[in-house]
Amino acid sequence: MRDMVTGAARAINWNRLEDEKDLEVWNRLTVNFWLPEKVPLSNDVQSWATLRPAERELTIRVFTGLTMLDTIQSSVGAPALMADAITPHEEAVLSNIAFMEAVHARSYSSIFSTLCLTPEVDDAFRWSEENPHLQQKARLILQEYAAGADPLKRKIASVFLESFMFYSGFYLPMYWSSRAKLTNTADLIRLIIRDEAVHGYYVGYKFQRGLERVSEAERAALKDFAFSLMFDLYEVESRYTEQLYDGIGLTEDVKAFLHYNANKALQNLGYEALFPPAACEVNPAILAALSPDSENHDFFSGSGSSYVIGKTVATQDEDWDF
């Protein structure tokens, strides 16, 4: 990175932060680093054999679609965002994001080589290149990443890719997992979902910082752009979902998941929800598959008979060593 004024090359100094979020996210991402080899995918071989041929074809196609998005994000999206970085630390975080997206793309091939036959996989890759909806998804995002595009629009596109467009695909391994199928594959996908959540959060945060530097009129125009891009992406995402999931009767369930994630993507940008609550009622089995073991006794939604008032108990200061 060069100094904007003098043009001198600058060495990154992590002890002089301009934005503390950069270090926070760097630490989060580096601690969360993983490789597909750490997941025992071969334990899913027997489970894979219980899927019907159409279910296997669907799964391979869904994973090929996800591979395409990860490939775009790794080789085009994150590098394009890097050129727009305000701080050198932001550039470094984006270099981590670019690499992890390559790890994600690579891990689908680990799943394929463990579970599938080569001709099935080759067919699916061919399908991904010929599928008009998948290609349209890629086109809509790539045109925002193109050289000369507005840096803030690029961030909007990136957040939508990371926090919305993956979810028509992520639904399926969560669905299998909720039925005790391909559970190791689901573990790997959860690692990807965790990374994408940090990426969407971080780029959304940088977008909000960027908004503070532009005029009220530009802010309004960017918001219009974001909602209009979301409509376009949702349109193609719906058709893609129907084509994939009509055959096993899951389209409506997937769409609720899409609405829910579209709203979350908009929240990452600091915007309000687009889809009303009734359209976002995600199948509880899918939510449970997404965050296993995180359930607590949610007091407000508990039944009246278990209504107990909390009492504080004196705690010692040494308890507070978190």
Partner 1 sequence: MAGLVYFSSSSGNTARFVQALGLPAARIPIREAEPMPAPTAPYVLICPTYADGTGAGAVPKQVIRFLNDPARRALIRGVIGGGNRNFGPTYALSARIIAEKCRVPVLATFELAGTETDIARIRDGLTLFWREPCLTP
CB of 196 to partner 1, least distance (A): 7
C-alpha 193/C-alpha 227 separation (Å) is 23
**Per annotation, catalytic residue among 108, 167, 245, 260:** 108
**For the window 47-66, what string marks contact with partner 1 as x by the rule CB under 8 A?**
--------------------
- Tokens 């719906």 correspond to 238
Question: Under the criterion CB under 8 A, does residue 292 sit at the interface with partner 1?
Answer: yes
CB of 145 to partner 1, least distance (A): 23
Query: Considering CB under 8 A, how many residues would be counted as binding partner 1?
Result: 52
Q: Which of 46, 118, 303, 315 binds partner 1 (CB under 8 A)?
A: 315
Interacting stretch for partner 1, rule CB under 8 A, among 120-128, 135-143, 200-208, 248-256? 200-208
C-alpha 152/C-alpha 93 separation (Å) is 17
245 carries an active-site annotation:
no
Question: Under the criterion CB under 8 A, does residue 212 sit at the interface with partner 1?
Answer: no
CB nearer to partner 1: pick between 213 and 300: 300
CB of 149 to partner 1, least distance (A): 24
Q: Which two tokens stand for residue 63?
A: 């994973």
Which residues does 294 contact at the CB level (< 8 Å), separation at least 6?
none
CB of 34 to partner 1, least distance (A): 8
The footprint of partner 1 on residues 160-179 (CB under 8 A) is: none
CB of 303 to partner 1, least distance (A): 13
Question: Under the criterion CB under 8 A, does residue 317 sit at the interface with partner 1?
Answer: yes
Give me the numbers of helices (H) and strands (E) for the chain, helices first please: 13, 0
CB nearer to partner 1: pick between 187 and 237: 187
Interacting stretch for partner 1, rule CB under 8 A, among 77-85, 100-108, 116-124, 300-308? 300-308
C-alpha 310/C-alpha 211 separation (Å) is 42
Question: Under the criterion CB under 8 A, does residue 257 sit at the interface with partner 1?
Answer: no
* Contact assessment for residue 272 and residue 226, using Cβ atoms and an 8 Å cutoff: no
CB of 143 to partner 1, least distance (A): 27
Question: Under the criterion CB under 8 A, does residue 37 sit at the interface with partner 1?
Answer: no
Question: Under the criterion CB under 8 A, does residue 75 sit at the interface with partner 1?
Answer: no
Interacting stretch for partner 1, rule CB under 8 A, among 24-32, 60-68, 112-120, 233-241? 24-32
Three-class HEC string of the chain = CECCCCCCECCCCCCCCCCHHHHHHHHHHHHCCCCHHHCCHHHHHHHHHHCCHHHHHHHHHHHHHHHHHHHHHHHHHHHHHHHCCCCHHHHHHHHHHHHHHHHHHHHHHHHHHHHCCHHHHHHHHHHHHHCHHHHHHHHHHHHHHCCCCCHHHHHHHHHHHHHHHCHHHHHHHHHHHHCCCCHHHHHHHHHHHHHHHHHHHHHHHHHHHHHCCCCHHHHHHHHHHHHHHHHHHHHHHHHHHHHHHHHHCCHHHHHHHHHHHHHHHHHHCCCCCCCCHHHHCCCHHHHHHHCCCCCCCCHHHCCHHHCCCCCCCCCCHHHHCC
CB nearer to partner 1: pick between 112 and 167: 167
Question: Under the criterion CB under 8 A, does residue 8 sit at the interface with partner 1?
Answer: no
Question: Under the criterion CB under 8 A, does residue 255 sit at the interface with partner 1?
Answer: no
Q: Which residues bind partner 1 (CB under 8 A)?
A: 20-21, 24, 27-28, 31-32, 34, 190-191, 193-194, 196-197, 201, 204-205, 208, 263-264, 267-268, 270, 273, 276-277, 280, 287, 290-294, 296-301, 307-315, 317, 319-320, 322
